[in-house]
Amino acid sequence: MGAPAKSTLEEHRLHAAEASGGTSSNVIYGRLLEIAGELGLKGSVLDYGAGIGNLTRKLWKLSRFDLIAGADILPRPPDLPSAIVWHCLDLNRGDMVPSASFDTVIAAEVIEHLENPREVARDLYRILKPGGSLVLSTPNNESIRSITTLLFRGHYAAFDDSCYPAHITALLRKDLSRILTEAGFSKIRFHFTNQGDVPKLPVSWQRVSFGLLKGCRFSDNVIVAAVK
């Protein structure tokens, strides 16, 4: 009875990963790389939840890190440079990547796909070397768009039926702060993509305001940086 259940669960998780397309937006990737530069991150980096490797390739071209690796339930993309290490694993399970093996972990739009955010935070802490940095992004459920969607439709903007079963775990800044603090992280700082859609309109806040509207209420994604 145990083996079939496990197989079914693994198949469900793989299906959910495939449903997301294994990628995110270049706006999010660009902001993550910008923050990595501002923080002076270097050494070894793990693209945690790398999907089809789009961010992994950008990290490679950046020439900032000495060692680059990706980890995902999806198989290694065939066109990745051979020097990039790939860990093919179910991120829900934890303890799959060697402990204290990376100076930086970047988790772009991953935690909302996983079942237990506290276990994820503990695993990210374990993977990092002492003094290492985490940079993590997720949908911003405190934006005007997301709050409006919650009020009128009963769910956050990035968690409707069209996003399921890819997006399953909705988190606020308070949740992220508590989860990361409990895992042992310090120096927790929040950033935003400064790119967000106006509810019900095919236009961004930034376009209608000529770039003036930024921050929490006007960004579709939140980024948190923390240190082990």
Q: Which two tokens mark 115?
A: 């079942």
Instruction: Report the chain's mean pLDDT, rounded to a whole number.
Output: 93
Q: Is residue 118 within 8 Å of 184, Cβ to Cβ?
A: no
The label of the residue with tokens 């789009």 reads 54
AA letter at 144: I
Q: Give the predicted TM-score (pTM) of the model.
A: 0.92
Confidence band for 158, pLDDT divided at 50, 70 and 90? very high
- Rounded to whole angstroms, the Cα distance separating 201 from 163 reads 19
Domain spanning 12-227: CATH superfamily:
Vaccinia Virus protein VP39 (3.40.50.150)
- Rounded to whole angstroms, the Cα distance separating 48 from 71 reads 5
Q: How many CB atoms sit inside 10 A of residue 154's CB?
A: 8
Domain range annotation of the chain = 12-227
pLDDT digits over 8-36, tens only? 877 777 776 666 777 889 999 999 999 99
